[in-house]
Amino acid sequence: MTTPTLRGVATKAGRDAWRTLTELFFDGEAQNRFHQASASIGVSPGLLKGLIHLDTVTGVPMRDLADHFGCDASYVTTLVDGLEEHGFARRDAHPTDRRVKAIVLTEHGERARATAMAVLFEPPACFDVLSTAEQRQLRDLLAKVAAADTTLHEAVPHGLAAPA
């Protein structure tokens, strides 16, 4: 189980920014965007979360998936079973440790992932209130934050952070 990152220190502006961001996600227009995205490729939200964290190049050990998602290993088995049934991923052998299975995306999985991400990454209509200059500002600020998020770049080179 991943330990929560709760510090209790942050500037007022930073707290407000994060709060608004959270509101936008959990109660705004885009509130069920993740559900839409997974529905667009006929999988459950759980499967899409897995799909997003994988890639066609680097096999991710199932144990790492459980750690990343903070879930039980048995659920990872269920997840990977589901991905395999859809033809989206496969279990590869680990080169040195025969206990671990490295999960890699198939090409079919890669395409499904791209489809889902197109839905997921479509900005909500409210973004239109920002001028182009403001949208660039916002993009740059968020990019800086994301670059500092260690979890986001942990083990997966071509993970979610790769440009579409």
Query: Which residues in 14-43 contact DNA (CB under 7 A)?
Result: none
- Residue 121 token pair: 């990454």
Closer CB to DNA, residue 39 or residue 145?
39
Residue 112, burial from CB neighbour count under 10 angstroms (0-12, 13-18, 19+): buried
Place of tokens 């979610």: 160
Closer CB to its own copies, residue 74 or residue 96?
74
Residue 75 binding its own copies, by CB under 8 A: no
**Which of 30, 51, 54, 76 is the binder for DNA (CB under 7 A)?**
76
d(CA 116, CA 114): 5
Shortest separation between residue 99's beta carbon and its own copies, angstroms? 26
- Residue 56 token pair: 């066609």
Shortest separation between residue 85's beta carbon and its own copies, angstroms? 23
**Which of 57, 73, 114, 130 is the binder for its own copies (CB under 8 A)?**
130
Shortest separation between residue 96's beta carbon and its own copies, angstroms? 27
Residue 72 binding its own copies, by CB under 8 A: no
Which is it for the CA torsion 52, 8, 140, 37, positive or negative?
Answer: positive
Shortest separation between residue 78's beta carbon and its own copies, angstroms? 18
Place of tokens 């209790």: 8
> Nearest-CA neighbor of 46 among 17, 19, 77?
77
Among the listed ranges 54-62, 63-71, 83-91, 103-111, the one in contact with its own copies (CB under 8 A) is 63-71
